[in-house]
Structure 1
Amino acid sequence: MLGSTSGGAAVDDHLFHRRVVSGDESALGELYDHFSALLYGLALRVTRDRVAAEDITQEVFATFWERPLGFDPSRGSLRTFLATVAHRRSVDHVRSEERRRVGALAPRLFERPHDLEEGVVAADEIKRVREAVVGLPDALRQVIELAYYGGRTYREVAVEIGVPEGTAKSRIRLALRRLAETLNEEAL
Structure 2
Amino acid sequence: MEQVSGIRTGARGPGRGSALSDEDLASLVRQTALGDFAAFERVYRELSGPVFGVVRRVLLDEAQSEEVAQEVFLDVWRNCGRFAPERGTARSWVLVIAHRKAVDRVRSEESATARVAAAGRLEPETTPADGVERHVENTLEREKVRRCLRRLTQLQKDVVRLTYYTGHTQREAAELLKVPLTTVKGRLRDGLIRLRDCLGVIT
Contact 2:69-2:98 within 8 A present in 1 as well: yes
Q: CA deviation at 1:52?
A: 1.3
Partner of 1:49: 61
For each residue in 1:141-186, what CA deviation from the matched residue of structure 2 results, as whole angstroms up to 9, or x when unmatched?
xxxxxxx9xx9x89xxxxxxxxxxxxxxxxxxxxxxxxxxxxxxxx
TM alignment of 1:140-151, pairs within 5 A: none
> When the two structures are superposed, what TM-score results if normalisation uses the length of structure 2?
0.50
* Distance in 2 of aligned mates of 1:96 and 1:56: 13
1:104 pairs with 110, 113, 116, which one? 116
Q: How many residues align?
A: 112
Question: Following superposition of structure 1 onto structure 2, how do residues 22-41 of structure 1 map, counting pairs within 5 Å?
Answer: 22-41=34-53
What residue identity is the alignment partner of 1:28?
A: F
Cα RMSD (Å) of the superposition? 2.5
Q: Distance in 1 between matches of 2:69 and 2:101?
A: 9
* TM-score, normalised via structure 1 length: 0.54
Q: 1:24 to 1:2 in 2, by over 3 A?
A: farther
Paired amino acid for 1:111: E
Match of 2:70 in 1: 58
**Percent of aligned pairs sharing the same letter:** 32
Q: From the two aligned structures, give the one with the greater helix fraction.
A: 1
Aligned partner of 1:68 in structure 2 is: 80
Write the mapping of 1:1-188 to structure 2, written as runs, cut at 5 A: 3-4=20-21, 9=22, 11-111=23-123
Conserved 8 A contact 1:40-1:57: yes
Equivalent position of 2:153 in the other structure: none
How far apart, in 1, do the equivalents of 2:110 and 2:32 lie? 35
Shift of 1:107: 2.1
The structure with more radius of gyration: 1
Answer 1 or 2: higher relative contact order, Cα 8 Å, separation at least 6: 2
Q: Which amino acid aligns with 2:69?
A: T
Q: Is the 8 A contact 1:46 1:91 kept in 2?
A: yes
